[in-house]
Chains A and B, each alone.
Chain A
Amino acid sequence: MEPQLSWYLALSAVLFTIGVTGVIIKRNIIAMFMCIELMLNAVNLTFVAFASFFHDVTGQLFVFIVMTVAAAEAAVGLGIIIAIFRNRETLDVDEASILKL
């Protein structure tokens, strides 16, 4: 049986929903971070699926851009996480609830 476009989209939607749910319910900052990555990659999956289906490379180009942004975001985000951990000695985001360290 040939894989259909809808399969990819369904998988992508599932992954995205898992990511969203994770961001909202997880308290560990690293887990949240990973969930954000999951959302980004779910979107990536949509992009490549459409690119393949429509025979258009534009979607793949967008994937590269998303990956670049994700890499930059990972660097900045991990930096912030380290800074928070150094100050608070915890990774619970609910502890970081005021606008200063």
Chain B
Amino acid sequence: MENNLLSVIIFAPLAGAAINWLAGRRVRDERFIATIACGSVAISTIVAFYLAFNSHGALRTEEPLLDHIWTWLRVGNFRADFALAMDRLSGTYALFVTFVGFLIHVFAVGYMRGEAGFYRFFAYLNLFMFAMLTLVLADNFVLMFVGWEGVGLCSYLLIGYYIDRKEAGDAAKKAFIVNRVGDWGFVLGIMLTFLLTGSVSFFANPAAGEATQTALSYFKSAPVEPFTLGALAAGGATSVAILLFIGAVGKSAQIPLYVWLPDAMAGPTPVSALIHAATMVTAGVYMIVRCSEIFVHAPMAMFIVAIIGAATALFAATIGIAQNDIKKVLAYSTISQLGYMFLACGVGAFVAAIFHVITHAFFKALLFLGSGSVINGMHHEQDMRRMGGLRKYMPITFATMITGWLAISGVPIFAGFFSKDEILWKTWSAAGLGSFSKVLWIVGAITALLTAIYMTRLMVMTFWGAERFRDTHSGHPEHEEKEQSHRPVEPHESPWVMTVPLIVLAVLSTVGGFIGVPYALANRDINVIEHTLEPVVAHVPSHEEGITAEAATGLHGSEAAAHSDVTAERLLTVVSVVIALLGIGAGWVLFQRRPLMQMPRLLENKYYVDEIYDAALIRPIETVSREGLWKIIDKGVIDGGLHSIGEAVTELGRLGRWLQAGFVRGYAAIILLGALILIGLFAYIGSTSVR
């Protein structure tokens, strides 16, 4: 189905960015800039909702909405169009991206008030929305990659928004460079896909008059590759999958490329909420689910995805427990939650992954915006050791953060409970992994416990306990000078532009999970998200396939198996609720009494991963660059080569200089000599030809 409204979704924010960049910098009126920025995203949101839910909406039909804007690249049988497609998956994504994006835009109007770069910030933010929606709605790999790089660029620009701070610039560069490592894999994955399938499109587009063979439909008919390490290098589906996954690892901050995300918190808090929690970092999950057809044919790649996801979830959660910067805690929490999503992808629970992406977008955006509200109220103080007792001063922020806290910890009825539980259950019951799925489940459960603990620590340190913000902190001399200007700090509640988005997100974090209530809990089939997305994701093709599907929908298959699964799922749900409450309780008891408790130094220093990377990668690269590339290649080979060419020319000139003595008669003689030679030549040729 062709629908030209789709392009409005992506081009409205682009227009907003252009207006703010070109006109906003001259107008410099915050109301004008804010209206343009929020208005353009609001248009996207409305159009996205209309297209998703009208009577032929993308979420209601099987066929995707297509919008072929122009034919972009066409070389031989390679074809990449600037074309958009909204099916159930990209529609779902577009909905929460636009909606959460809109709320964060509104919040940012309050947060960024009085900043000199107000227009610049909103121009970038709108540009980000354009890039993100292009990524999501692209109907082929190449256009998706354009959006992929676009969000990376905007991420770079926004992390480095505070151009007068060195750490912001460094963090921006780090994010950009680390992402390049992942993009390398993504690009190779796209190339290999084209090599294998002869197409880079996701959907068959009848309007463009092309054959119906698409990149994904090729893999659908391909056989499942063997579960061996050799398959990774075999150049088939497994190779494609693992290359694409490398791209996802970079963008979605998984081990080993997660290091950029914590540093990215140097950007303004709304940026952290929008880009580094709710939308951009989940692009990797989106890409994998979009390519689920490839992944289900590559069991080895799936296995690696699951392991990386589980490892990241646990690893980041342990670091998060020891951080003192409120945004750093949330950053590591984001990495950990992204690990959950990859774990879900790895065990074939693509719908659960998307479900968690959505609920995570709600509650993590809420938590980030809440922390932004706290930081704003504390006059740009981010260290939780200097907070405490804020619930009295910021009641709305406090109340909304409570819902976010309960949601991420997995307390029942809050959004995170359903999605996290779904992932854990799907991990437990994953087909084809055998007892290893139980190991993954245990890792996930421990992560859930740690999540509850560090979030409780964050809440307790921020909102409960003694009011530490009036103390002078002799222990931190490096901050002392900065503090002088801020003291005395008197926290205050944020204005309504900031609290209203918080309230909306708090409501969503509370009820958002009800779109995915599993059969086992409701005893009725009301899992909306599963019904919506099930048709567009691939299933792990195995003889045990029936089990997971039945347990979730309870529609087909043998009643007995379904029944035992329902019992198991309920049991596990109880277990995870107990884990969540245990974590909250432990965190409460520990940190209520000693909010400033010294955490293990290993965790506080993030396992020294940055230092290890520095020593293992950055230093050697710098050394090789300086000693080898600069001193030998650049100065020796390149400069040396150029200089010797120059010297050779000089020497040649010195030889030829005697011809140019400057004496007119000498020149005359040379001319004569030349003439004589010519005449002689002619005479010689003439005499030979006559003869």
Complex: A26 Cα to B665 Cα, angstroms: 8
Complex: A52 Cα to B672 Cα, angstroms: 29
**Interface: A30 (CB within 8 A):** no
B663 pairs with A93, CB closer than 8 A: yes
Contact with A along B645-680 (1 / 0, CB 8 A): 000000000000000011111001100100000000
Complex: A101 Cα to B669 Cα, angstroms: 23
Return the contact of A25 from the options B661, B664, B665 (Cβ within 8 A).
B665
B663 pairs with A24, CB closer than 8 A: no
Complex: A23 Cα to B668 Cα, angstroms: 7
Which B146-170 residues have C-beta < 8 A from chain A?
none
Closest A residue by C-beta to B675: A20
Whole-angstrom distance between the Cβ of B680 and the nearest chain A Cβ: 15
Which B residues lie within 8 Å of A32 (CB)? 664-665, 668
Complex: A96 Cα to B663 Cα, angstroms: 7
B662 pairs with A99, CB closer than 8 A: yes
Closest A residue by C-beta to B664: A93
**Interface: A98 (CB within 8 A):** yes
**Interface: A94 (CB within 8 A):** yes
Which A residues lie within 8 Å of B669 (CB)? 24
Complex: A22 Cα to B340 Cα, angstroms: 100
B663 pairs with A94, CB closer than 8 A: yes
**Interface: A88 (CB within 8 A):** no
Which B residues lie within 8 Å of A24 (CB)? 665, 668-669, 672
B668 pairs with A97, CB closer than 8 A: no
Which A residues lie within 8 Å of B663 (CB)? 93-94, 97
B665 pairs with A23, CB closer than 8 A: yes
Whole-angstrom distance between the Cβ of B669 and the nearest chain A Cβ: 5
Whole-angstrom distance between the Cβ of A35 and the nearest chain B Cβ: 9
Return the contact of A98 from the options B662, B665, B668, B672 (Cβ within 8 A).
B662
Whole-angstrom distance between the Cβ of A50 and the nearest chain B Cβ: 17
**Interface: A86 (CB within 8 A):** no
Complex: A94 Cα to B668 Cα, angstroms: 12
Which A49-101 residues have C-beta < 8 A from chain B?
93-94, 96-99
Complex: A96 Cα to B667 Cα, angstroms: 13
Chain A interface: which size bin?
A: 10 to 19
Which A residues lie within 8 Å of B668 (CB)? 23-24, 32
Complex: A76 Cα to B244 Cα, angstroms: 78
Which A residues lie within 8 Å of B661 (CB)? 97
Complex: A96 Cα to B664 Cα, angstroms: 8
Complex: A25 Cα to B662 Cα, angstroms: 15
Which B residues lie within 8 Å of A25 (CB)? 665
Closest B residue by C-beta to A27: B665
B665 pairs with A93, CB closer than 8 A: yes
Which B468-493 residues have C-beta < 8 A from chain A?
none
Which B residues lie within 8 Å of A23 (CB)? 665, 668
Closest A residue by C-beta to B668: A23
Complex: A23 Cα to B664 Cα, angstroms: 9
Whole-angstrom distance between the Cβ of B38 and the nearest chain A Cβ: 71
Complex: A20 Cα to B675 Cα, angstroms: 11
Complex: A97 Cα to B660 Cα, angstroms: 10
Whole-angstrom distance between the Cβ of B674 and the nearest chain A Cβ: 12
Which B residues lie within 8 Å of A96 (CB)? 664
Which B residues lie within 8 Å of A99 (CB)? 662
Contact with A along B635-651 (1 / 0, CB 8 A): 00000000000000000
Whole-angstrom distance between the Cβ of A52 and the nearest chain B Cβ: 24
Which B residues lie within 8 Å of A20 (CB)? 672
Which A residues lie within 8 Å of B665 (CB)? 23-27, 32, 93-94
Whole-angstrom distance between the Cβ of B682 and the nearest chain A Cβ: 16
Which A9-23 residues have C-beta < 8 A from chain B?
20, 23
Which B residues lie within 8 Å of A93 (CB)? 663-665
Complex: A93 Cα to B664 Cα, angstroms: 6
Complex: A24 Cα to B675 Cα, angstroms: 14
Complex: A1 Cα to B383 Cα, angstroms: 124
Complex: A65 Cα to B661 Cα, angstroms: 33
Complex: A32 Cα to B664 Cα, angstroms: 10
Whole-angstrom distance between the Cβ of B658 and the nearest chain A Cβ: 13
Complex: A96 Cα to B661 Cα, angstroms: 11
Complex: A27 Cα to B672 Cα, angstroms: 17
Which B residues lie within 8 Å of A26 (CB)? 665
Whole-angstrom distance between the Cβ of A12 and the nearest chain B Cβ: 15
Complex: A23 Cα to B666 Cα, angstroms: 10
Complex: A26 Cα to B668 Cα, angstroms: 11
Closest B residue by C-beta to A94: B663
Which A residues lie within 8 Å of B662 (CB)? 97-99
Closest B residue by C-beta to A36: B668
Which B residues lie within 8 Å of A97 (CB)? 661-663
Complex: A36 Cα to B665 Cα, angstroms: 12
Which A residues lie within 8 Å of B664 (CB)? 32, 93-94, 96
Closest A residue by C-beta to B672: A20
Contact surface of B with A, Cβ cutoff 8 Å = 661-665, 668-669, 672
**Could you jot down 25 A-B contacts, CB within 8 Å?**
A20-B672, A23-B665, A23-B668, A24-B665, A24-B668, A24-B669, A24-B672, A25-B665, A26-B665, A27-B665, A32-B664, A32-B665, A32-B668, A93-B663, A93-B664, A93-B665, A94-B663, A94-B664, A94-B665, A96-B664, A97-B661, A97-B662, A97-B663, A98-B662, A99-B662
Known: A26-B665, A97-B663. 10 other contacts (CB 8 A): A23-B665, A24-B665, A32-B665, A32-B668, A93-B664, A93-B665, A94-B663, A94-B664, A97-B661, A99-B662
